């Protein structure tokens, strides 16, 4: 989409939001390589880096470190932020593009399930769908 926008001389920006488990896919890195090659400065990759996949911690399943260096190696300007800090996120988005000749990767450090103590960093909550009324009430209470 970012390459098409450039070819069509559109002044649009493309955002791609990805989870850290998702970026284990080869297609993500093929697309990143292409974006870096073409210097797609209107493209921003936003990575939710909670270090947790559906089956467990990323470091055990497919370690991503050094993640920021990987994005840089693919030709991206990079920025690491606290993904829970809305003010910091706004500042980061306001700086785009970080470099007028390269795509941007914003690595958002987050905590899976943040704000719900019994769900934080628990991969069992990744695909949980059936919740009791009591659990739902406990979730609302945690958010208050």
Q: State how far the alpha carbon of 113 is from the alpha carbons of 57, 108, 123, in Å.
A: 14, 14, 9
Query: Residues 123, 113: contact at Cβ < 8 Å?
Result: no
Return d(Cα 85, Cα 79) in angstroms, integer: 14
Under the banding of pLDDT at 50, 70 and 90, the label for residue 129 is confident
pLDDT in tens, 56-75: 899 999 999 999 999 999 99
Return d(Cα 59, Cα 62) in angstroms, integer: 6
Where are the chain's structural domains? 2-110
Token pair in block for residue 126: 């990744």
The pLDDT of residue 125 is 87
Count of beta carbons in the 10 Å neighbourhood of residue 21: 21
What letter does residue 109 receive in the DSSP assignment?
Answer: E
* Nearest residue to 52 (alpha-carbon basis) of 63, 38, 36: 63
pLDDT in tens, 34-54: 999 999 999 999 999 999 988
> Span 2-110: which CATH code?
3.40.50.970
């Amino acid at each position: 989409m970012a390459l098409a926008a450039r070819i069509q001389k559109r002044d649009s920006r493309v955002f791609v939001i990805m989870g850290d488990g998702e970026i284990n896919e080869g297609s993500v890195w093929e697309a990143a390589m292409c974006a870096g090659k073409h210097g797609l400065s209107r493209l921003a990759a936003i990575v939710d880096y909670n270090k947790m996949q559906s089956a467990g911690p990323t470091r055990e399943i497919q370690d991503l470190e050094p993640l920021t260096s990987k994005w840089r190696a693919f030709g991206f300007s990079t920025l690491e932020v606290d993904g829970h800090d809305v003010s910091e996120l706004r500042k980061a988005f306001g700086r785009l593009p970080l470099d007028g000749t390269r795509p941007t990767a914003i690595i958002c450090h987050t905590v899976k399930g943040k704000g719900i103590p019994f769900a934080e960093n628990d991969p069992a909550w990744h695909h949980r769908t059936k919740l009791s009324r009591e659990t739902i009430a406990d979730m609302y209470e945690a958010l208050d």
